[in-house]
Amino acid sequence: EDQVTQSPEALRLQEGESSSLNCSYTVSGLRGLFWYRQDPGKGPEFLFTLYSAGEEKEKERLKATLTKKESFLHITAPKPEDSATYLCAVQGPMDTGRRALTFGSGTRLQVQP
Amino acid sequence: NAGVTQTPKFRVLKTGQSMTLLCAQDMNHEYMYWYRQDPGMGLRLIHYSVGEGTTAKGEVPDGYNVSRLKKQNFLLGLESAAPSQTSVYFCASSYRRDRGNTEAFFGQGTRLTVV
């Protein structure tokens, strides 16, 4: 059974204070690891997909990295508008047919001015 | 280009009532999903569809039924609502590809309260 654990559950940062969010996963054959951002009352918004260990992707102040057991979402010099819940999800073997994602519970990030 | 649209956005039901949640996508995606999101539990897959006319059970299917009569629409039904079905429901869709651009796109959610 695929499992995804995110830490910390909540994180409060000062504007400009860089930090990292962790996503540990267990899956038999990773097809993809996904990061989403979710604002209150909204649906998850896609950020990144990582497919293999060592891969990195960046978008503005966000950088996602992947190892064989975990992924990190690094936030550099965050701004208040980066406040949101960040979700990590994995996609297991294609032969399951469904291609659905297994999600972690998320990290609630609050960036104070 | 609306993406994934869910209706209604909010609903309050009495125990035992029935309702249907509608999901429509305009991206010509083959795969569609229904998830529920509860505090501290993340998103959990209810049912999914890999194409028009096909549906399958996810992790938490009990108490729900689905239909996909048209490629662009995926309906989630509650035949007899229970308080345990109080949740936020999200529909999502994705392409049918082996690699690349396989991310799921989500709707804005339906907040359902069963009293």
pLDDT tens digits, one per residue of B56-68: 999 899 999 999 9
Contact A59/B at CB under 8 A: no
Residue of chain A minimizing CA distance to B6: A43
Q: How far is the C-alpha of A37 from the C-alpha of A75, rounded, in Å? A: 13
What is the DSSP secondary structure assignment for residue B36, as one 8-state letter? E
8 Å CB contact of A98 and B96: no
**Residues above pLDDT 70, as percent of chain A:** 95
pLDDT band at B110 (very low <50, low <70, confident <90, very high): very high
* pLDDT class of A38 with cuts at 50, 70, 90: very high
With beta carbons under 8 A apart, name residues in chain A contacting B41. 105
A94 at interface of B, judged by CB pairs closer than 8 A: yes
Q: Comparing C-alpha atoms, which of A26, A48, A24, A25 is closest to residue A36? A: A48
pLDDT tens per residue, range A46-83: 999 999 999 999 999 999 999 999 999 999 999 999 99
Reference A85, options A27, A23, A33; nearest CA is: A23
Give the mean pLDDT of B32-40.
Answer: 93
Which residue on chain B is closest to A94 by alpha carbon?
A: B98
Contact: B50, A97; criterion CB under 8 Å: yes
Q: pLDDT tens digit string along B61-96?
A: 999 999 999 999 999 999 999 999 999 999 999 987
**Cα–Cα distance between B33 and B61 in angstroms, integer?**
12
Task: Categorise residue B109: left if φ over 0, alpha if ψ from -120 to 50, beta otherwise.
Answer: left
Residues in contact with B38: Cβ distance below 8 Å, sequence separation at least 6, in sequence order = B44, B87, B88
A54 touches B: beta carbon within 8 Å: no
